[in-house]
Amino acid sequence: MKWEKLKPPEPDDPMCCCECDFYQYGCSCNCEDLDEACNRWLKGRSKGQRSPILSSVINRLEVSMVPALVLLPLLLRLAALHVLLGVVVLSTLPGLLLWYYYATHRRKKRTLFFLTLSLYSLAYMYYLFLTEILPRGDVSLSQVVVLTGGAVVTMVSLVRTKRGPGIVVGGSAPAVPDECGIGVSGGGRSEVRGAGEETQALVFKGQGSRCAACNVVRPPRAGHCRICGTCVQRLDHHCIWINSCVGKSNHRCFLFTLSVFLLTSVYGIAVVLHSLCPRQYLLTALLYCPGVYNHYSTALCFTCAWYSSIVTVALLHLLFFQLVNISFNVTEREAQLALRYKTGRRHLCGLVVDTGEHSRGFFHNWREFFTMSDGAGSGLAPVRPANLV
């Protein structure tokens, strides 16, 4: 007997059930190997008859997303049966989705899970609006045009945001100011000390910082994303909802997409609640709407309005911190590093971290944000249509 199979796994290298000989259901586990096997099976069938578009979709397919997309409308319809079921389902739905994500994507880096879930939720809410709210006859044509236009503008802006954050591919860069705990030795070379999860980098006088993972010279405020495996100019953060980094080239589009989506969502919730509870105000209608559970269709629309409100509040939180960080001319990555090394100062009751390195005043910071170049011609990766997903 191979006793190595029976040894307990290491803490940082968990053993999967399919690696054990004595586990009878080892071939039916939900690990990453199962997704890869299903992907290979899908790619191997009728290879010569698939179109390039279908092949591209199958290549990026994640089998583990299918149960979440099926369960989401089922849970929303279950919550519409009774007010108590609605409270239980809507309060546990965010935690359930996160648990499912970590259970099925624990060894994956980039994933289309959240992007697909958000687009599917947007499409499902719009479908219910057209099939349940519009036939009631109390929605004007201008309201339909505004909601449809907001959804279209959101999708177009999302595509522009996905075109690329500004990836550093090479070239020279000016010297990087002292940040992230970098100390220069007498020989002219230094290394990042205590970087933790941040990629180790070498700094040469007059040459900027060189990323050890990408082997490129990074300009000031650029950072390495461990999820994408690339260096991005003025890296803010990696957004799981768009499956891409937010950097110098797409930060303005990201902020615009987020703002348009939130405005459209708030307006759509207001239209739905006004149709369901015409005698109630917006906030009071969410808490008390008499007679809404008398008919299943109105209860379903009311439940979806609550679901949209939860998503809207979460994205409002993201938008608030984005606006505050831009006002202080600090990126999310720089704020996290300042907190880690205790080099920043907290403002607004601890809501914002000011590094004190790039802020030149409120109006100057916003002017710099709106006028900064997209990085064209400065050693950035060219935009490729294949990067849109």
Range scoring the smallest mean pLDDT among 17-26, 87-96, 135-144: 17-26
61 pLDDT band (50/70/90 cuts)? low
Residue type, position 217, single letter:
V
CA atoms within 13 A on the CB side of 208: 18
Contacts of residue 76, Cβ cutoff 8 Å, sequence gap at least 6 = 89, 300, 303, 304, 307
pLDDT > 90? residue 106: no
pLDDT > 70? residue 37: no
> Distance (Å, rounded) from C-alpha 90 to C-alpha 308?
11
Catalytic residue among 211, 214, 225, 239: 239
Are 389 and 60 contacting, i.e. CB atoms less than 8 angstroms apart? yes
Tokens of 147: 């909601």
Contacts of residue 160, Cβ cutoff 8 Å, sequence gap at least 6 = 250, 253, 257
Range scoring the smallest mean pLDDT among 19-23, 277-281, 315-319, 348-352: 19-23
pLDDT > 90? residue 145: yes
283 pLDDT band (50/70/90 cuts)? confident
- Going by C-alpha positions, the residue among 184, 250, 239, 176 that lies closest to residue 211 is 176
pLDDT > 90? residue 44: no
Query: Mean pLDDT, to the nearest integer, of 247-258?
Result: 93
pLDDT > 80? residue 296: yes
Q: Which tens digits make up the pLDDT trace of 306-360?
A: 999 999 999 999 999 999 999 988 898 888 888 888 777 787 776 777 777 888 8
245 pLDDT band (50/70/90 cuts)? very high
pLDDT > 70? residue 17: no
Q: Would strands 223-225 and 217-218 be described as parallel, antiparallel, or unpaired?
A: unpaired
Range scoring the smallest mean pLDDT among 219-228, 283-292, 357-366, 374-383: 374-383
Instruction: Look at 212 and 143; give whichever has higher pLDDT.
Output: 143
> Distance (Å, rounded) from C-alpha 237 to C-alpha 251?
10
User: pTM for the whole thing?
Assistant: 0.72
Residue 110 confidence (pLDDT): 75
Q: Is residue 239 annotated as part of the catalytic site, yes or no?
A: yes
Are 369 and 256 contacting, i.e. CB atoms less than 8 angstroms apart? no
114 pLDDT band (50/70/90 cuts)? confident
Tokens of 227: 């999820």
Q: Which tens digits make up the pLDDT trace of 255-273?
A: 999 999 999 999 999 999 9
84 pLDDT band (50/70/90 cuts)? very high
298 pLDDT band (50/70/90 cuts)? very high
196 pLDDT band (50/70/90 cuts)? very low
CA distances from 126 to 134, 139, 173, 313 (A): 10, 14, 47, 19
Average pLDDT value over all residues in the chain: 75
pLDDT > 60? residue 119: yes
227 pLDDT band (50/70/90 cuts)? confident
